[in-house]
Amino acid sequence: MSGHNKWANIRIRKSAQDARRGKLFSKLIREVTVAVKEGGPEPENNAALKLAISKARDANVPRDTIDKAIARASGEGVGSAFERVTYEGYGPQGIAVMVDVLTDNRNRAVSEVRKTFARHGGNLGENGCVSWLFKRKGQFAIAKEGLDDDDVLELVIDSGAEDFKEEDDAYYIYTDPGDFGKVRDFLEARRVHVLSSTVTMIPDTVVKVTDQSTAEKLMRLLSALDENDDVQQVYANWEMSDRLLEKVAG
C-alpha cells in the first residue's frame, strides 16, 4: 500500500480512541464551518461544503452534528476568522511533507508547525519547496468485494475518472479535483460501496524508508503534526514495507 494511504489508515485506526475521535470530529466540523462561510450553506452550490460533509460522514460524525454546524455557520460572524494555509517542509531522510492548516491565528500555527518539524528531525521550508513533488487528486476508496479489475476499469471510464489502483485494503479511484463531485455522484448512483472519499495530494515519486530508526522518527513527526488542532491534513512522499510500518506504528 502506498504511503499516503497507509498514513490515512493509521489515522483512522488511531481515531477509534475516544479522545482522538473527538479531536478528529472537531477538525472535520471546523472544515464544514469554514466551507459554509466561504460558499454558503447549500451543498449543491458549494463544492467545498459537499466535500467537507462527505469527509465528516466517512468518519462517522453524526448527521445531527453536521447539520447543527451548518446552521451555526450560516449566522453572522461564526467561523469568519479562520483561514487556510499550507506549509511545506522536510522530514527525516529528506522526505517531503505538506501540511494543510485551518487556523484563526497564522502566527501561532506557523510557530507550532516549525517547532514540530524541528523536534522530530525535520525542518520547515519555503512555500513551493516540495509542492512540485505532488499532484492534487480526488480519491475514492471502494470495497473490493464482488469487484475485479475489469469492473473497476469500467467504473473509471463511465464516471470520467482518470485511473485506479488496487491495494490490499481497497480499490482506489483517482480523478481530477474538478470532477470529484461528478464521480462521487456516479458512484452513489451505481451503489458502489465507497469506504472513503477525499481530495488529497499524491506524490509523483516516493522515498523508500528501510531502517527502523528513520521510520520511527517519521511516524513521530506525522503523528505530532496531526495532533495539532489547526492541522487538517498531512501529506508526505514516503514508502515502507507493511512489516516495518507495523513495528513503528502498530
Using alpha carbons only, give the angle 144, 147, 148 rounded to the nearest 5 degrees.
105
Averaged pLDDT for residues 180-194: 92
Averaged pLDDT for residues 209-234: 93
Distance CA 10, CA 218 (A): 13
DSSP-derived 3-state class of residue 188: helix
| pLDDT tens digit sequence for 29-88 | 898 988 888 888 898 888 888 889 988 888 888 998 898 888 888 875 554 578 889 999
Name the DSSP letter for residue 16. Answer: T
User: What 3 state SS string does 54-114 have?
Assistant: HHHHHCCCCHHHHHHHHHHHCCCCCCCCCEEEEEEEECHHHCEEEEEEEECCHHHHHHHHH
Averaged pLDDT for residues 115-135: 96
Averaged pLDDT for residues 209-231: 93
Average pLDDT, rounded, for the chain: 88
At 11 the pLDDT is 61
Pairing status of strand 96-103 against strand 231-236: antiparallel
| pLDDT tens digit sequence for 188-207 | 999 999 988 889 999 999 99
DSSP-derived 3-state class of residue 139: strand
At 80 the pLDDT is 53
| pLDDT tens digit sequence for 139-159 | 999 999 989 999 999 999 999
Distance CA 141, CA 174 (A): 9
Residue ranges per domain, the chain?
3-73, 83-132+205-249, 134-203
**C-alpha closest to that of 25 among 68, 77, 66:** 66
DSSP-derived 3-state class of residue 178: helix
Q: Which CATH architecture has domain 83-132+205-249?
A: 2-Layer Sandwich (3.30)
Q: Which residue has the higher pLDDT, 249 or 203?
A: 203
pLDDT bin (cut points 50, 70, 90) of residue 219 is: very high
At 17 the pLDDT is 56
The CATH superfamily of 3-73 is: Integrase, N-terminal zinc-binding domain (1.10.10.200)
β-bridge mates for residue 194, sequence order: 142
Question: With DSSP H G I counted as helix, E B as strand and the rest as coil, what are the percentages for the chain, rounded to 5?
Answer: 50, 20, 25
End-to-end Cα separation, the chain, in angstroms:
15
Percent of the chain with pLDDT over 90: 56
Q: Check: CATH 3.30.70.980 for 134-203?
A: yes
